[in-house]
Amino acid sequence: MKVKGFSAAAVQAGIRYKDRLDLALIYSATPAALGAVFTASTVKAAPVLLGMERLRSGKAQAIVVNSGNANACTGEEGMRMARTVGALAAQALKIDEELVQVASTGVIGAQLDPAPFAAAMPRLAAKLSEDSFDELARAIMTTDTVPKIASATIRIDGVEVNLLACAKGAGMIMPNMATMLCFAITDANIAQPALQAAVRSGADLSFNRITVDGDTSTNDTMLCLANGAAGNTLLDESRPEQLAVFTEALHGMFKDLAKQIVRDGEGATKLVTVRIEGAASQEDAVNAARTIANSPLVKTAFFGEDANWGRIIAALGRSGAAFQPEHVAIAFDDALLVENGFGLGKEAEAAATQALKQKEFAVTVRLGAGAAAAEMLTCDLSCDYVKINANYRS
Amino acid sequence: MKVKGFSAAAVQAGIRYKDRLDLALIYSATPAALGAVFTASTVKAAPVLLGMERLRSGKAQAIVVNSGNANACTGEEGMRMARTVGALAAQALKIDEELVQVASTGVIGAQLDPAPFAAAMPRLAAKLSEDSFDELARAIMTTDTVPKIASATIRIDGVEVNLLACAKGAGMIMPNMATMLCFAITDANIAQPALQAAVRSGADLSFNRITVDGDTSTNDTMLCLANGAAGNTLLDESRPEQLAVFTEALHGMFKDLAKQIVRDGEGATKLVTVRIEGAASQEDAVNAARTIANSPLVKTAFFGEDANWGRIIAALGRSGAAFQPEHVAIAFDDALLVENGFGLGKEAEAAATQALKQKEFAVTVRLGAGAAAAEMLTCDLSCDYVKINANYRS
C-alpha cells in the first residue's frame, strides 16, 4: 500500500534498548494539512505540548516518533529536547522545523538523551521509502505483540484517494505508560478544518470507545497528514457528500485499529463489544457502556467464561445512567439472558455461556429508557494482565 | 463486649449452602433510634428498598440478615419475600414487623425460598444472647477470610456508653456481589436526626473511602441502632461537645472496619493509604485519591513492589483534579520520590521501594494547588484477585 507523496523509515537508534527499531519518520514531499487529537490528561508529555503548539498552523510535513522514552514529566528541559528532536529531523529533511510533529512513547520521568537521535537521524532520512510503513508500525510497538496497520482506497470525483494508518497500544511496559499513538496519512486534497473535524470525530468513535484498563496516558497522540497529491477537487464542508466518503474511510481505519489494539490488549484472551441500546441520552449510553467495559468484576467474569449478568447489572447501577431495573434486557450475542430485569434461567444461561466461550462476542444491554445507543470495545482481565504489569523484579 | 439491651444470634439455615452460618439476628429489648445508609446504586436490592421505606419512621428493634442470596433483581416477588422474612422475624420476636430491618447478601437474580427462613427463625430467636456478636459477624461473611468487629466504650456526662459494630465485604463469590454490610449498635441515648447525621458522615469518611475494585453493590447497607439503655442525657445538636464524643467513637469504629475490609480484600497482599494533600478543593482531593486508588496500573505496580510513580502521575492526570505537573510531590511513607514533578533518582527510588515492600504503607501526593486533603484506602491487584473472580468452572 502506497500513499502518493509519502515515505517512511525506521531505524535502531539505541534510545533505550539495543537491537530494536525505536526511531521512525513519516515524510510528505510537500507540506500537508494536519488534523490532530492529543491526550485529555492534565499531565501532557513534552512532545504533546509541542504538537499542540504546532497544530495551530494546521500544517505539517513530517512526523518523528521514538519509543523507549516518553519525554513526560520532564519539564522545561523536556520541552527543549522535544524541539531538538524536531530540529534534527527538520535538518535531515531540509524542511522548516515548525512543520515537524514529534511523538514519544516509553519511560516516564527520564530526560531524553539527544545523542542517539543526532547520530541516527541522517541514516533515518536516507532510508525513507514509500514501502516502509510496516517497519514504522513495528518501530512504535512497546508491549504490543503485533504491528497494527489499516488502509483504504476510495474514489472521490473519479479520482483515486489512498489512506493508511498505523497505531500502537494499549500496552505498557514497566515503567512505561499505556500510550496510544496513531499516525494516519492520505493523499486526499482536503481543507484543514474539515480534516481536523474528521480526525476529532473519528477519535470519539474509535480510540475513545475502547478500554483495556481505563487508564489514559500522558502521551496519547493521533496525527493525520493530508498532502493533496491525489489531485481531487478540494474536500470541504461545501461538498458534504464527497467529504462523507472520505470521513467514512478515515473512521473505518480508526475503528479497525482500535479493534486491533483491544485484541492485542495485555493478557487479553477475549475481544468484547459492549453495546448499550435504549438509553435516555447519548451520554447515558456511553457512560453505561464504559462502566461495564471497565469493571474488573465484569472483566474477570469474561475471563472465567461466566455469564454473570449480576455483575453487569451492578455496573449499570453505579454508572449514573437513568433506567428502571425491571426494564433491562441483556444478551450475549443472540442468547437473551435477562428480560424485564429477570434472569431467564439455566437454559438461557447455558446458551449465553456458549457465546462467552468464543474469542469474540458482544454483550448487548437494552435499558428501555429511550432511543440512544453506544458501543465500547473491551477485553477480559486475566492473570497475565496482572503478571505483565506487576513485572516481578528478581 | 456487651451493649446494654442488645442481643444477637446466628444459625445454619441452609439458605444456599449446608453447614455454614447464614442467618442472623440483632435484637434490642426496646425500640431503638435508627440511622442508616444504603447503596447509591440505581439497582437496589429488595431488602434495601424495604429498609429505605422503614427508615422513614426513624426506629427499629431488630435486624435480620442472611447470606447466600442477595434478593436483588427479584422484582415485586422479591419485595414480598423481604417483607415475609421481616414478618417471620417479627413473629418470632413478638414485635411490630415495621420495626424489623432486613439485609441480604449473596446470589443476585434468584428468588428467596421462604422455607429455610420459616424453619430456622424460632430457633434463631431462642438463641439470642448478649455474647453472640462474634457469631453474627461470622454469619455475614462470604469471601471474607476473617470476621470484622470493632467496639468502643466512652463516657458521656459520667455515664458509660458502649458501641459495637461488625461488617462484611468487599468480597464476592461468583455470582455474588461485593456487598458491604455494616451493623452497629449502641446503648447511647441519642436523638434520631443526630444519629442519622453521624452515620451518614461516618460512611463518607470510612466505607466511601475504600476501594478493592471500584464496584458498588446492589445491597450495600449500613444500619445503626441506638436504644438509650446507657441512660445518658439525650444527645442531640443542642449539646455539640457531648455529641462529638459519640460521633468520634462511632466514626472510629467505622474507619477501623473499613480498614479491616481492605486488608481482607480479595487477593490483597498490601494495604495502601492514598493521601492527597494541597488540592484546590475537597472534591479534587477525593477524586484524585479515588482515581489513583482504583487504577489497575497503580494497583498491579503495588503488587509488583515497583515504585512506579509515572503510573501515579498518569492517574492524577486523568482524575480531573486541578494541578500543575511541575508542583507535584510524591512520597511512599517518608521516602520522597518526586518533587516539583521530577523523579529524584535511583537512591530515592530504592528508598521508596523499601516502603513498598511492607504489608502496609502510605502514598502521599502533594498537588501544590490549595489546602484540601483526602485519603482513600486501597489494596494491590494480584493474580489471586483474578483467580477468585474468574472462578473457573470445571
B313: chain A residues, CB-CB within 8 Å: 43, 72-73, 108-109, 218
The per-residue pLDDT for A212 is: 65
Burial of B83 (0-12, 13-18, 19+ CB in 10 A): middle
DSSP per-residue codes, A277-290: EEESSHHHHHHHHH
Residue A189 CA neighbour count, 13 Å, CB half: 13
The residue among A43, A40, A119, A132 whose CA lies nearest residue A85 is A119
Nearest-CB residue to A42 (from B107, B317, B389)? B317
Is there a domain that residue A1 lies in? no
What CATH number has the domain bearing residue A313? Answer: 3.10.20.340
Is there a domain that residue B27 lies in? yes
End-to-end CA distance of chain A: 44
* Interface touch B342/A73, C-beta < 8 Å: yes
* Three cell numbers, residue A67: 519509543
Range of the domain at B288: 271-390
Is there a domain that residue B59 lies in? yes
Q: What is the pLDDT along chain B (394 residues), one digit of tens a residue?
A: 789 999 999 999 999 888 889 999 999 999 999 999 998 888 899 999 999 999 999 999 999 999 989 999 899 999 999 999 999 999 999 999 999 999 998 888 889 999 999 999 999 999 999 988 998 998 888 778 889 999 999 999 999 999 999 998 765 433 334 578 999 999 999 999 999 999 999 998 888 887 766 566 778 899 999 999 999 999 999 999 999 999 999 999 999 998 898 888 777 889 999 999 999 999 999 999 999 998 888 888 899 898 889 889 988 988 989 999 889 999 999 999 999 998 898 899 999 999 999 999 999 999 999 999 999 988 888 888 777 767 643 3
* Interface touch A318/B40, C-beta < 8 Å: yes
Is there a domain that residue A213 lies in? yes
Same domain, A233 and A351: no
A41: chain B residues, CB-CB within 8 Å: 314, 317-318
B172: chain A residues, CB-CB within 8 Å: 297
Does A95 or B41 have the greater pLDDT score? A95
A43: chain B residues, CB-CB within 8 Å: 313-314, 316-317, 325
User: Has A179 been annotated as catalytic?
Assistant: yes
* Interface touch A341/B392, C-beta < 8 Å: no
Same domain, B203 and B300: no
Is there a domain that residue A338 lies in? yes
Q: Which of B142, B179, B216, B247 is catalytic?
A: B179
B73: chain A residues, CB-CB within 8 Å: 310, 313, 325, 338, 341-343
pLDDT tens digits, residue range A214-232? 566 778 899 999 999 999 9
Q: Which of A39, A74, A143, A179 is catalytic?
A: A179
The per-residue pLDDT for A17 is: 84
Torsion (CA) A311, A312, A313, A316 in degrees, nearest 10? 120
Same domain, A42 and A170: yes
Same domain, B244 and B286: no
How near does any CA of chain A get to the CA of B221, in Å?
15
Q: C-alpha B2: how far from its chain's center? A: 22
Q: Is the pLDDT of residue A370 over 60?
A: yes
Overall average pLDDT of the A20-43 stretch? 93
Nearest-CB residue to A300 (from B70, B110, B386)? B386
The residue among A207, A375, A211, A384 whose CA lies nearest residue A303 is A384
**CA-to-CA dists, residue B25 to B9, B64, B120, B387, angstroms:** 5, 5, 11, 33
A176: chain B residues, CB-CB within 8 Å: 310
Q: C-alpha B79: how far from its chain's center? A: 24
Q: Buried b vs exposed e over A182-199: b needs ≥16 C-beta within 10 Å?
A: bbbbbbbbbbbebbbebb
Same domain, A247 and A307: no
The per-residue pLDDT for B391 is: 61
B38 contacts B54 by C-beta, under 8 angstroms = no
Longest dimension (CA), chain B: 69
* Interface touch A108/B315, C-beta < 8 Å: no
* Interface touch B215/A172, C-beta < 8 Å: no
The residue among A149, A134, A118, A93 whose CA lies nearest residue A9 is A134
* Interface touch A43/B390, C-beta < 8 Å: no
Look at residue A121 and give its three-state secondary structure.
Answer: helix
Is there a domain that residue B1 lies in? no
How near does any CA of chain B get to the CA of A46, in Å?
12
Which residue do the cell numbers 462511632 mark?
Answer: B250
Look at residue A12 and give its three-state secondary structure.
Answer: coil
Other C-beta atoms closer than 10 Å to the C-beta of A371 total 11
A172: chain B residues, CB-CB within 8 Å: 297
Q: Which residues contact A384 (CB under 8 A, 6 or more apart)?
A: A266, A267
Look at residue B358 and give its three-state secondary structure.
Answer: coil
Whole-complex ipTM: 0.74
Report the number of distinct structural domains present in chain A. Answer: 2
How near does any CA of chain A get to the CA of B229, in Å?
39
pLDDT tens digits, residue range A39-81? 888 889 999 999 999 999 999 999 999 998 999 989 999 999 9
Kind of pairing, strands B148-156 and B100-107? unpaired
Overall average pLDDT of the A26-45 stretch? 93
What CA–CA distance (Å, rounded) separates A379 from A3?
33
The per-residue pLDDT for A177 is: 42
B296 contacts A213 by C-beta, under 8 angstroms = yes
Is there a domain that residue A358 lies in? yes
Substitution target from B269, B318, B328 for chain A, most A beta carbons within 10 A: B318
pLDDT tens digits, residue range A314-333? 889 889 899 998 899 999 99
Nearest-CB residue to B317 (from A41, A75, A385)? A41
Q: Buried b vs exposed e over A96-127: b needs ≥16 C-beta within 10 Å?
A: ebebbbbbbbbbbbbbbeeebbeebbeebbeb
What CATH number has the domain bearing residue B35? Answer: 3.60.70.12
How near does any CA of chain A get to the CA of B7, in Å?
33
The residue among A295, A340, A335, A331 whose CA lies nearest residue A314 is A295
What CA–CA distance (Å, rounded) separates A297 from A209?
19
Nearest-CB residue to A306 (from B218, B311, B393)? B393
Is there a domain that residue A90 lies in? yes
The helix/strand count (H/E) of chain A reads as 11, 15
Substitution target from B42, B108, B276, B367 for chain A, most A beta carbons within 10 A: B42
Domain boundary among B228, B263, B298: B263
Same domain, A172 and A253: yes
Other C-beta atoms closer than 10 Å to the C-beta of A157 total 14
Same domain, A241 and A338: no
**CA-to-CA dists, residue A76 to A111, A345, B326, B342, angstroms:** 10, 61, 10, 11
Domain boundary among B216, B241, B263: B263
Domain boundary among A242, A263, A284: A263
Give the confidence band of A294 by pLDDT, cuts at 50, 70, 90: confident
DSSP per-residue codes, A291-321: HHHH-HHHHHHHHTT---HHHHHHHHHTS--
The per-residue pLDDT for B217 is: 73
Longest dimension (CA), chain A: 69
The per-residue pLDDT for B215 is: 60
A343: chain B residues, CB-CB within 8 Å: 73, 109-110
The helix/strand count (H/E) of chain B reads as 11, 15
The residue among A213, A234, A41, A53 whose CA lies nearest residue B320 is A41
Please state, rounded to an integer, the average pLDDT across all residues of chain A: 90
The per-residue pLDDT for A127 is: 96
The per-residue pLDDT for B392 is: 41
The per-residue pLDDT for B209 is: 83
* Interface touch A393/B172, C-beta < 8 Å: no
Nearest-CB residue to A389 (from B172, B297, B310)? B297
Q: Which of A11-15, A387-391, B277-281 has the lowest mean pLDDT?
A: A387-391
How near does any CA of chain B get to the CA of A379, in Å?
14
Same domain, A229 and A319: no
Same domain, A42 and A149: yes
Other C-beta atoms closer than 10 Å to the C-beta of A30 total 9
Nearest-CB residue to A303 (from B40, B326, B390)? B390
Find, in chain B, the residue whose alpha carbon is nearest to that of A353.
B393
* Three cell numbers, residue A285: 449510553
How near does any CA of chain B get to the CA of A126, in Å?
35
pLDDT tens digits, residue range A252-274? 999 999 889 888 877 788 999 99
* Three cell numbers, residue A389: 504489569
Q: Buried b vs exposed e over B282-308: b needs ≥16 C-beta within 10 Å?
A: eebbbbbbbbbbbbbbbbbbbbbbbbb
The per-residue pLDDT for A171 is: 55
H or E segment to which residue A243 belongs:
helix A240-263
The per-residue pLDDT for B387 is: 77
Same domain, A243 and A321: no
**CA angle (A90 as vertex; A86, A94 as ends), nearest 5:** 180
What CA–CA distance (Å, rounded) separates B351 from B347?
6
Look at residue B138 and give its three-state secondary structure.
Answer: helix
How many pairs of residues across A and B have Cβ atoms under 8 Å apart?
Answer: 223
Give the confidence band of A174 by pLDDT, cuts at 50, 70, 90: very low
Same domain, B178 and B87: yes
A175: chain B residues, CB-CB within 8 Å: 306, 308, 310-311
How near does any CA of chain B get to the CA of A184, in Å?
25
Across B173-268, the runs of DSSP E, i.e. the strands, are: 181-186, 210-211, 221-226
Q: Is the pLDDT of residue A167 over 50?
A: yes
Q: Is the pLDDT of residue A175 over 50?
A: no
The residue among A294, A292, A296 whose CA lies nearest residue A284 is A292
Nearest-CB residue to B387 (from A316, A318, A383)? A383
* Interface touch B314/A214, C-beta < 8 Å: no
Same domain, B15 and B158: yes
Question: Does B314 sit behind a cis peptide bond, omega within 30 degrees of 0 on the bond before it?
Answer: no
Give the confidence band of A173 by pLDDT, cuts at 50, 70, 90: very low
